[in-house]
Amino acid sequence: MAGKLVIVESPAKARTLNRILGRSYSVKASLGHVRDLPRGDLGVDVDKSFIPKYVIPPEKKKLVGELKKAASKASSIYLATDPDREGEAISWHLTQATGLDKNDRLVRRVVFHEITNDAVQEAFRNPRSIDMNLVNAQQARRILDRLVGYKLSPLLWRKVQRGLSAGRVQSVAVRMIVDRERDIQDFVPQEYWVMEVELAPFEEEASFKARLFALADGTKLDVGSKDEADRVAAGLEKAEYAVKTVVTKQVARQPAPPFITSTLQQEAWQKLHFTAGRTMAIAQQLYEGLPLGKEGSVGLITYMRTDSTHVAASAISEAREFIADKYGAKYLPPKPRSFARKSKWAQEAHEAIRPTQIYRQPDQLKAFLDSAQLRLYELIWKRMVASQMSAAQYNVTNVEIEASNTKNQTQGYLLRASSSVVKFPGFMVVYSESRDEDDRRENSDSIGVSLPKLRTGDKLTYLGISGEQCFTQPPPRYTEATLIKALEQKGIGRPSTYAPILSTIQGRDYVNKVDGKFRPTELGITVTRILTAHFPRIVDPGFTAQMEEQLDEIAQGKYEWIAALQEFYPPFRDMLDKAWTNLEKVNMTQASEETCPKCGRPMVIKVGRFGRFLACSGYPDCKTTLPYMVKTGVSCPLCGGDLVKRISKKKKVFYGCSKYPKCQFTVNRKPMAQPCPDCGNLLVQYRGDWAQCVACKRKVKSSETEKQKEEAAL
């Protein structure tokens, strides 16, 4: 007999395991799933206990034959697919597709969370059988998604338009974006004024600003109009100022735990501008192994699909040793840190995402990793190291100041100033966590200023007052980071599903990403309205979270997967039957300004499976179609034609000349109306408030382009 056969999912993982296991093992890759439900057919017998009909896709039949042949010659077989439900299901499908389940030889399942010598050798010393609880949880999810997708899609095709589809989890994500957009549209701004007084201690030059927040008796004061602001300002100008209280305390800021899947995706978006899909693709490469010169292929991080912040004791010990060596004992807390997940569905058997070796510092990998791989590895490495470091220490001073007018005996006011000074940086010498827009808004009222030494009772000199008119802001649109955070908080989806959810809802043209933020399309709004009216449970976040919990219970052996399907399907079937009867056809066609180049009739805007397109209103007599192009109002720098927004076959937004194919000018970033102040060429959006010239690469602040626009108007 030949040697031992190991089957994994990917060639990269196979290369890394080959190096670790040596010549006595033959490592083959299955290239993902080798069986699935059939395409174009439900593949589930809803009348017979939801028995699935699995098939081997045509493109996998040759590979399955090769694996079957290799297995027949092997002395023993190890299934080393990923350590989660999907990986467990792939292993089970491999046994079914290749006939290994009927083989007398023992088929072993090996599980490891990092592809290192120690972890792999330990896994092979302790193999187990396939965990059917995990397999059944995956089967239940797959069948649930198939039932919703294949039963709802024909309804949407008939009642709305062809090419549409719905998903059990994705539809909830779209609803969240639609609901947020509705909140934004319905939001009524409220005026308020921020009043700040510049003060200084007597006979001192150092001044500071204090913000008005209450009347003298402690009643919160909201200044809501210019007249009120002027009245308050008049009183503050005549007031006498004295320090009422000074409170200084030391505040500790603790480091964030090491990454889980959702926090890695959020932070990679905030710090690196990586989409969730790109983050997971790069993390997969780091996990499966990359060639490091003479070392060969090495796994650099632990498994990247996890919801646990647990870290192995050996990794914590290595991190603490590294911190002591590099930063000194004062940066090391007395005891190792542990981070317990508050989430009731966290799988503590898994580990957090961390480097496989702390001493493998990012700088040492520059020669072997590309830019994106290095940046993501550095993010993971810094987060893990910082998580075991000492807290940062701040001296926080809060000063309350009383403004009184003893001459006129009018109502006094209370003002507040604060300062926060880093006393000891602690973990921040390595890493500091980003804050998303929601967090920034919650803390927007605090002002940190440099304060002179102040004592209770000190008299202060009035130097001036400023009042800024502000308006309350609507809730922000979701970014990739905040949507993933919201999905996780609501219990919707799991580590393996966040990136596919975001990819799917954009690919179906239900949402667009504008300036990094999600906005629903008209199609997304319409489909959400229909699903909310006729399938309220399907798009209910609470019900979807409940289904996720049920799947977790199946994975733990606490619930039968067939029972879960039997509970779900009958109510869903009833809603479906009623919708076929009661839902009237929706007309998604919109008028356009274009005319048909063949027959001269008006063209209309339609939405297909690949997005919007123009179609002749004379259909079916005239079947002319054209790409739908959104004009930007900016001229092509080559020929003077209109630059229009286009969408590639891979759903990527770009901007090109409307005279294509005669003119093939394109840019990936949104064009700006103002020309470059240096060379007069085209400016495109760069990052944040910055624009960049396509020719000379000059970077321009948006305020400069606005100033340029005003000067041109004059």
pLDDT, tens digit (0-9, with 9 covering 90-100), for 372-385: 999 999 999 999 99
CATH number reported for the structural domain that contains residue 291 in this entry: 1.10.290.10
Q: Are residues 411 and 355 in the same domain?
A: no
Lowest mean pLDDT among 39-43, 159-163, 189-193: 159-163
Q: Are residues 375 and 279 in the same domain?
A: yes
Residue 477 has pLDDT above 50, yes or no: yes
**Assigned domain for 589 exists:** no
**Assigned domain for 484 exists:** no
Residue 471 has pLDDT above 90, yes or no: yes
pLDDT, tens digit (0-9, with 9 covering 90-100), for 536-565: 999 999 999 999 999 999 999 999 999 999
Q: Are residues 380 and 424 in the same domain?
A: no
Mean pLDDT of 76-100: 95
Residue 604 has pLDDT above 60, yes or no: yes
Q: What's the pLDDT score for residue 674? A: 86
Confidence of residue 447 (pLDDT cuts 50, 70, 90): very low
Q: What's the pLDDT score for residue 687? A: 73
Q: Are residues 94 and 166 in the same domain?
A: no
**Assigned domain for 92 exists:** yes
Q: Are residues 17 and 68 in the same domain?
A: yes
Residue 688 has pLDDT above 70, yes or no: no
Mean pLDDT of 375-401: 97
Mean pLDDT of 225-245: 95
pLDDT, tens digit (0-9, with 9 covering 90-100), for 47-61: 999 999 999 999 999
The length of the chain, given as a count of residues: 714
Q: What's the pLDDT score for residue 507? A: 85
pLDDT, greater one: 678 or 552:
552
**Assigned domain for 441 exists:** yes
**Assigned domain for 645 exists:** no
Angle made by CA atoms 619, 624, 625, in degrees to the nearest 5: 110
Looking at this protein, which amino acid is placed at residue 574? D
Task: Look at residues 348, 364, 390 and tell me which one is the last residue of a structural domain.
Answer: 390
| Domain count along the chain | 5
Q: What's the pLDDT score for residue 216? A: 92
Q: How far is CA 69 from the centre of its chain?
A: 42
**Assigned domain for 588 exists:** no
CA torsion, ordered 432, 436, 437, 438, to nearest 10 deg: -110
Q: What is the mean pLDDT of the chain?
A: 90
Q: Is 641 exposed, middle or buried (0-12, 13-18, 19+ CB in 10 A)?
A: middle
Q: Report the distance separating Cα 234 and Cα 214, nearest Å.
A: 16
The tokens for 548 are 């996720």
Task: Look at residues 85, 101, 130 and tell me which one is the last residue of a structural domain.
Answer: 130
Q: What's the pLDDT score for residue 445? A: 44
Residue 649 has pLDDT above 70, yes or no: no
Mean pLDDT of 18-35: 94
Mean pLDDT of 250-278: 95
Residue 448 has pLDDT above 60, yes or no: no
Q: pTM to 2 decimals? A: 0.85
Q: Are residues 453 and 422 in the same domain?
A: yes
Q: Are residues 115 and 159 in the same domain?
A: no
Mean pLDDT of 59-86: 94
Can you point out the beta strands (E) in 129-231? 191-201, 208-215
Mean pLDDT of 324-344: 86
**Assigned domain for 489 exists:** no
Q: Are residues 16 and 114 in the same domain?
A: yes
Q: Are residues 16 and 91 in the same domain?
A: yes
Q: Are residues 573 and 686 in the same domain?
A: no
Q: What's the pLDDT score for residue 449? A: 58
Q: What's the pLDDT score for residue 689? A: 73
Using CA atoms, how far residue 135 sits from 13, 140, 289, in Å, is: 22, 9, 26
pLDDT, tens digit (0-9, with 9 covering 90-100), for 494-531: 898 999 999 999 888 899 988 889 999 988 999 999 99
Q: Report the distance separating Cα 418 and Cα 211, nearest Å.
A: 10
The tokens for 556 are 């733990």
Q: What's the pLDDT score for residue 373? A: 97
477 contacts 517 by C-beta, under 8 angstroms: yes
Cα atoms in the 13 Å half-sphere on the side-chain side of 3: 10
The tokens for 613 are 């397109």
Q: Are residues 265 and 382 in the same domain?
A: yes
Q: Report the distance separating Cα 141 and Cα 547, nearest Å.
A: 9
CATH number reported for the structural domain that contains residue 121 in this entry: 3.40.50.140
Residue 710 has pLDDT above 60, yes or no: no
Chain position carrying tokens 């001493």: 359
Q: Are residues 178 and 239 in the same domain?
A: no
CATH number reported for the structural domain that contains residue 544 in this entry: 1.10.460.10
Say which residues have a Cβ less than 8 Å from residue 619's Cβ, sequence separation at least 6.
none
Print the domain residue range for 143: 139-185+494-582
Q: What's the pLDDT score for residue 446? A: 42
Q: Which residues are catalytic?
A: 303
CATH number reported for the structural domain that contains residue 238 in this entry: 2.70.20.10
Of 524, 522, 511, nearest to 653 (Cα)? 511
Task: Look at residues 536, 561, 582 and tell me which one is the last residue of a structural domain.
Answer: 582
**Assigned domain for 8 exists:** yes
